[in-house]
Every structure is written in structure tokens, then in C-alpha cells.
Homo-oligomer: A and B are copies of this chain.
């Protein structure tokens, strides 16, 4: 969804079905997979904004510096899940997202994730400014929006 005054992107929602290999032996989605769901929505947001987070020969990468989820209800086999991600903070070198995972009206989990821009192929990792071609495509919204 693009904001009203610009072509900057703040949020995106994907819908996907719970797959069998994502379940644990209790028959619910393993808690580690919510982080994969959040990343899946993040990359779809970047595509919606006309970008790839990991293009061939990209000069920068975006490792995660923090990731967290609060779990409210389990997800089960073949549930159709909405994964909504929002940009909630945008600094020179970092982007922070909030994420809501839900089935219909029922919220299953809420997460946050912060990523940092680094130069590719440099060790140790060195934070650099987010290139303007990327930063100019996003705009932060309130976390509780």
C-alpha cells in the first residue's frame, strides 16, 4: 500500500497457507517458522516497492540485528494466514518492521525485526548508509497503526 502523498511504501500483506513441513509434533506451526513468515512478507514488501532485497551482484546486504515474536494462538495445517508487515522506523542505516500474523480476525502472533545495511563481502560486517534508491522507496508508519 503506498502512502497518499508519495510513492513510498510502508506496509504489505501476504496470504499463504500453512504447509505440512512447517508443523511440529504438536500439530502447530513451529515457533521458528514465524520468523520465516515475517521475512517472506518483508521481501514481498520490497518487491511491491520495485526492489529485491538480495539482487544478483548487489553491493549491500541486510542482516538482521534483532527479531522477536509474541505468540497468541497456534496456527494449524492448511490455515490460510495473513502476514502483514509495516515499516515502523527508518534510520540512516537501519529499518525496523512490525509484523502481525493472523487467520481471519484472530491474531496468531505479533513480531518485530530490525535490519541493518552492510557492505557485501566485507568482514567483519560494516554498517553503511542505506542507498538512496532503497531508502527513498520506504516510509515509516506508527507501530500501532
Q: Which residues of A contact B (CB under 8 A)?
A: 19-21, 23-28, 30-33, 35-36, 39-40, 43, 47, 52-54, 56, 61, 63-71, 73-74, 76-78, 120, 124-125
The one of B20, B52, B76 that contacts A24, using a Cβ cutoff of 8 Å: B20
12 further A-B pairs in the complex, CB-CB below 8 A; given A20-B39, A32-B39? A20-B40, A21-B40, A25-B25, A26-B61, A26-B120, A28-B63, A43-B78, A65-B71, A66-B70, A66-B71, A67-B68, A73-B124
In this complex, what residue of B is CB-closest to A30?
B21
- Nearest CB in chain B to that of A31: its residue: B64
Copies in the complex: 4
A-B pairs with beta carbons under 8 Å apart, 8 shown: A25-B25, A31-B39, A32-B36, A64-B71, A65-B70, A66-B68, A66-B69, A68-B69
A124 to B106, CA, bound (A): 12
Assess whether B66 is in contact with A67, with CB atoms less than 8 Å apart: no
Q: How far is the CA of A33 from the CA of B63 in the complex (A)?
A: 14
